[in-house]
Amino acid sequence: MKRIGLIQILQETNCFNPVLTVRADFENFGVGTGSEVLAQYGTVGEIGGFVEGLKQWPEAVEPVGVLRLQAWSGGPAAPSTQAWFGELLAAQLANAPPLDGLLVALHGAMMGADEPDLDGWLLEKIRSLVGPDLPVVASLDLHAYVTERMVRGASALVAYHTFPHMDQRETGMRAANVLRRILAGARPVSSLVRLPMITGGELQSTFVPPLQPIFQDLVAAEGRGAVLSAGILMTQAYLDVPQLGWTVLIVTDQQPDLGSQLAGELAARCWPIREQLVVKFLEAPACLDRALAVAGHPVVIADGADATNSGAGGDSVHLLEEMIRRRIPGGALTIMVDAPAVAHATQAGPGGAFAFAVGGKRDHVFSQPLPVTGVVQSLHPQAGYVLNGHGGTNLRIDMGRAAVVRIADVTLLLVERPGPGSTPLMYRCVGLEPKDFKVVIVKSPAGFRAEFGPFAADIILSDCPGCASSRFASLPYRRINRPLWPLDPIDDWRAVGWINPR
């Protein structure tokens, strides 16, 4: 019976977030080694998909848990954390029984403080540990920045097909299927085209035009004939790396010409729609003006620049300051990651006076602490829930202790640690119902639409300073290659001459 090893090492990095991601951030999401991987995480995200996909092989196959590490989106991984990944990989692969193949779940946009291509480093490390011949298929988020090192390290790469990300499990199953084809004799060749463009997450939905028809054809292309895997990876713009941009990736069974042709065709369809992905933002005062003019509720205001889903700190003060300044009949609901503020509220106790400078501590570049006064409404020993939908499948979220503070017409949920900023569960887990408020803030550029969309009276995209802003000229890029649209005008993407490696 064949044995297939399962690994997940997943985090999405925003390199402009000054708070490094450390070992404790992964431990908060649960570290699994050996048999724990299947026992505890066998139905979670891509690992759940790997297991399900392996069950569909014609012959019986034994999934072997090797290693599972996940942390929520945030700043670059600390050097000691990167070293820990390497030690765990070496130890757990040495402990594993002989394997016939490996399935690896990565994000594809993880950076280390000292390593701009941490996913490439991980695949290179895995390859050095398992040798040149073992088939290794890795899954990637649709916001991955695909490097040549990643392509070399893995036998094949398989990317999500949806944003909001609703197909983590299906991607795991697709990766298992590609591995099955490799073990049956397929010899994967990757064809890449890089587009010199970055776009904000706000309008990147694959469920509506202009991207929907392109993705329908992409999905249809995968599995047809020699095409093993097809992906359009829109990258995460918060990586300061050379040749940052969208990647079209086609993996074929020894058909590089077919792969290049298909990748080129898809890239040529993505390039002209870029102008349609430019976000029309409103600054904070205009957001509130518009929200208060809407008849119904709740009006959802997206603070994409401070999106915890995009690796921002989650402690921006800009919308909060504007909301405190106003009268908001029906009230506003917002969230902030601020452990010292939770401690202050805990000391004050329910009903106690709250006077503290909140926010602007994690992201101290784009925000500064904002002194506020209010009343502590409630305290919660643990703000947690299980995420299903955009961003996770059966994924346990723990934002630590929480406090709810009332400031003017604003109900502010303070939590110790970041989690998804896109689900109503971030509020409901402490008894706050978003439907009960006039205005609700989400910390997500687009993924929130999956769950908030059905009941939002209106959706407004805010333009505030922050390290996940889609106003790219506001970000301190130093290493990206230019020209890069929309920072620079580009008429013909082919003339820019970026990679087109085989």
Site residues for Zn ion per CB under 5 A = 141, 143
Q: How far is the CB of 143 from Zn ion (least distance, A)?
A: 3
HSE toward the beta carbon, residue 141, CA cutoff 13 A: 27
Q: At what angle do helices 284-293 and 318-325 cross, to 10 degrees?
A: 50
Q: How far is the CB of 165 from Zn ion (least distance, A)?
A: 6
Q: Which residue is nearest to Zn ion (CB)?
A: 143
Query: Rounded distance, CA 127 to CA 51, Å?
Result: 22
* Shorter beta-carbon distance to Zn ion: residue 70 or 411: 70
Q: Which two tokens stand for residue 371?
A: 């002194």
* Shorter beta-carbon distance to Zn ion: residue 318 or 390: 390
Q: How far is the CB of 310 from Zn ion (least distance, A)?
A: 8
* Shorter beta-carbon distance to Zn ion: residue 230 or 288: 230
Q: How far is the CB of 394 from Zn ion (least distance, A)?
A: 18
* Shorter beta-carbon distance to Zn ion: residue 255 or 444: 444
Query: Rounded distance, CA 163 to CA 270, Å?
Result: 15
Task: With CA atoms as reference, report the closest residue to 102 among 131, 81, 82, 141.
Answer: 131
HSE toward the beta carbon, residue 317, CA cutoff 13 A: 20
* Shorter beta-carbon distance to Zn ion: residue 168 or 411: 168
Q: How far is the CB of 142 from Zn ion (least distance, A)?
A: 5
Q: How far is the CB of 85 from Zn ion (least distance, A)?
A: 20
Q: How far is the CB of 446 from Zn ion (least distance, A)?
A: 10
* Shorter beta-carbon distance to Zn ion: residue 218 or 299: 218
* Shorter beta-carbon distance to Zn ion: residue 143 or 169: 143
Write b or e for each residue in 314-352: b if 16 or more Cβ atoms lie within 10 A of its Cβ, otherwise e. Answer: bbbbbbbebbbebebeebbbbbbbbbebbebbbebeeee
* Shorter beta-carbon distance to Zn ion: residue 12 or 25: 12
**How distant, in Å, are the alpha carbons of 309, 421, 447 from that of 286?**
24, 22, 23
| Contact between residue 332 and residue 440 where contact means Cβ atoms under 8 Å apart | yes
| Contact between residue 312 and residue 363 where contact means Cβ atoms under 8 Å apart | yes
3-state secondary structure 274-326: HHHHCCCCEEHHHHHHHHHHCCCCCEEEECHHHCHHHCCCCCCCHHHHHHHHC
Q: How far is the CB of 470 from Zn ion (least distance, A)?
A: 14
